Amino acid sequence: MTVKTAAAGLVLVLLCGCETVQPWERGLLAKEGMQWTPDIMDARLRSQIYASKEASSGGAGAAGGGCGCN
């Protein structure tokens, strides 16, 4: 019981460390360094070539043929 309470308390204390992005801080999320990929066009092109070479289009989540032509 004591261990459980202590663990619950610890989780709560750790949760308090979670930060919310405030509305006025959202510009930070729009910065280039915060993107999943540095260049979206380049990432899509690479993904298309990869799917074409591997004949595995759809593996990355998109439907389509494997010819690299779509």
Partner 1 sequence: MSVVKRFLLIVCLVLPGQLQAAAVVGEVAPELSLPEVVGEETISLSSLRGKVVYVDFWAAWCGPCRVSFPQLQLLRDDLGEKGFEVLAISVDEQASDARAFLEEVPVTYPVVHDGEGVTPAVYGVLGMPTGYLIDREGVVRDIHQGYRKSDGEKLRAKIVTLLGEE
For the bound state, the minimum distance from the C-beta of residue 61 to partner 1, rounded and expressed in Å, comes to 28
The window from 21-29, 33-41, 48-56, 60-68 that contacts partner 1 (CB under 8 A) reads: 21-29
Phi, then psi, of 10 in degrees rounded to 5: -65, -45
CA distances from 47 to 37, 54, 66 (A): 12, 10, 12
Closest to partner 1 by CB, 22 vs 41, is: 22
Asked if residue 34 binds partner 1 (CB under 8 A), the reply is: no
Phi, then psi, of 55 in degrees rounded to 5: 50, 40
For the bound state, the minimum distance from the C-beta of residue 4 to partner 1, rounded and expressed in Å, comes to 10
